[in-house]
Amino acid sequence: MSSIIQLLPDHVANQIAAGEVVQRPASVVKELLENAVDARATDIKLIIKDAGKSLVQVIDNGLGMSVTDARLCFERHATSKIRQAEDLFSLHTKGFRGEALASIAAIAHVEMKTKQDQEELGTHIIIEGSKFVSQDVAVLPKGTSFAVKNLFFNIPARRNFLKSDVVEYRHIVDEFQRVALAHANIHFTFYHNGSEMFNLPPSNFRQRIVNIFSGKTNEKLVPVQEETEIVAIKGFVSKPEFAKKSRGEQFFFVNDRFIKSGYLHNAIMNAYEGLLKDGAQPSYFLYLNVPPNTIDINIHPTKTEIKFDDEQALYAILRSAVKHSLGQFNVAPVLDFDRDANLDTPYHYKNLEGATPTIQVDGNYNPFSEDVPNKGPKSDYYGNRKPDANSEGYRYEPVKQTASWESLYVGLKHDTDTITENGGFHFESEEATASLFNENDVEKAVNKTYQIHKKYIVNPIKSGMVIVDQQRAHQRVLYEQFLTNMTLHHASSQQLLFPLHLYFSTSEMELIAELQLALVNTGFVFEETNDDSVVISGLPVNIAESEVPKVLEQLLSDLQDGIPESSFSQNDTIAKSMAKSLSIKTGTYLTEKEQENLVNGLFACKEPNVSPFQKPTFITMRVEDLDKKFTI
């Protein structure tokens, strides 16, 4: 019987390995940027086209590679970072597995140019699908340039699974931001389709955060710093009032490597306990330095998950450090309820010594002297102005006040006579009826609505009663209103007396630019759009000015996974998001008129049975169902 098990060819094995390392263009960006950082580059350029599908190029001014290293770096398990297994627990660099370049070369066209500083000539290599096409000597600047073209050209099935350019571009921006935040001392530039998206000069951590996430980020940050034997923590967290719906601005860096950790995230959320609204997420940028031998990085293909030796101690230290910073900068409430913030010592007076107060005494002052120093006008006991003490004919005479209480009774006699002439007071008499309720009252009682627990609206009908979920019903009403306005382009706007300035990060501004036309159709009027802010001068009629930040924030949160390509899907997503933000929430008291309007608006909709999120808006309970409840 012939053998069944066979060894895979090298090119097939490389393609399978590439599935672990290269999932999308952002994976290539991550690997190439980390290699440039490991090469001790001080200037790194990232150039992409068509969201990385056509081109991903990283140019650095690092150490470069020799001719032998340039050829060997594309072999599997070839790395300069480790020599033996023990080195895995003492890593100070990024890429160490030796599979990244081999995997990328297996599924793309790769062109590499590299030169070391002490060499006169560099090396130019072209690879297509793991096959070396050419290797030449070339005149090149110091450093390395990797150009990855036509990603997944030989795996059409994998290429078809890629998302739209907008989604893939956002993933690339995320990877770029993670590397740039971890290395603030390196100059990063980012170009997409020929346009400069980021230009981040070398700076400190705080300035790097501000440069990436717009200028208004600076006022949101609260510094965190703590140093122990287990871990050294530094970084920033946001003030509670700037918390967002999304988790886009949450970064953990361990030994300058971005990681994801739900356990450490829970420590941050515990530190904010009692300071955040439901569903709100704080922003944080925290850098943790731990001994390399206390962590295991090699537990995940993308190296974004790390195993710590003592997670519980790290959890407690991180939670305490964040909580201490929030309290130190008066972000968290204090226990002294009678404390007056106006009595706090200003920072520039903190170390100053108190000055001895001086007392000025007028030795010539005599209270019994006839010459009174104060020559200003005086008032008597009743507030009347009197002449000065030195004026002629001055003497103290209290002014007599004339009582004017008689004026209170002027005209009273005339009114009394009128009442007497008319024969006294007359009261309206109520008409007696034979029945307890008249027909009009009974009809009103039948049509009356009732609110239960500030959540449900009960409306009696002939066959029984209808119980309406007020939040879902209002979502359906708003959803159809917004969708109609965006489809027919006849939304009305209310002009603002003072334009509204809102600030967003670079990635959020790109989303708003994509959605601007659809938002205009709902009633928004954009007066100005900048790199990190928008100026809104008009709003839809049913949106208050104070609700605009919440509406746009919810919309950006809902579109984190990408904007639908078709216009109808875009309108549908925007209408759902705005309806969710503006709908009446559970726990809101409604007047009888508001209840009736909501019920009437719901049943005037095209699909009143379900909310925009396919949940029932009301149930009907018949009289027969109630009778069964009372049946013994």
Mean pLDDT of 94-106: 70
Average pLDDT, the chain: 79
CB atoms within 10 A of CB 202: 14
CA distance 54 to 156: 14
Residue 436: pLDDT band with limits 50, 70, 90: very low
CB atoms within 10 A of CB 539: 21
**Tens digit of each residue's pLDDT (9 = 90 or more) over 194-253:** 888 889 999 999 999 988 887 678 888 889 998 888 889 999 998 888 888 777 788 999
Q: Is the dihedral of CA 579, 581, 583, 586 positive or negative?
A: positive
Residue 363 pLDDT > 50, yes or no?
Answer: yes
Q: What percent of the chain has pLDDT over 70?
A: 75
| % of the chain with per-residue pLDDT over 90 | 16
pLDDT of residue 358: 80
- Look up residue 623 and give its two tokens: 């009289």
Q: What is the pLDDT of residues 369-416, one digit of tens each?
A: 765 555 445 555 444 555 554 444 445 455 555 556 566 556 555 555
Question: pLDDT tens-digit profile of 539-553?
Answer: 888 788 888 888 888
pLDDT at 187 over 90: yes
Q: Which residues contact 331 (CB under 8 A, 6 or more apart)?
A: 222, 239, 240, 275, 325
pLDDT for residue 236:
92
Most confident option among 109-113, 252-256, 438-442, 561-565: 109-113
**Rounded Cα gap, residues 613 and 581, in angstroms:** 13
Task: Specify the pLDDT at position 390.
Answer: 47
- β strands within 436-558, DSSP E: 450-452, 456-461, 464-469, 493-503, 525-529, 533-540
pLDDT of residue 417: 52
d(CA 497, CA 491): 19
CA dist., res. 474 & res. 483, Å (int): 14
Q: What is the pLDDT of residue 188?
A: 95
Q: Which domains does the chain have, with CATH numbers?
A: 10-200 (3.30.565.10), 205-328 (3.30.230.10), 451-620 (3.30.1370.100)
pLDDT attached to residue 527: 87
At 581, the pLDDT band (50, 70, 90 cuts) reads confident
Instruction: Name the β-bridge partners of 258.
Output: 253
pLDDT greater than 50 at residue 492? yes
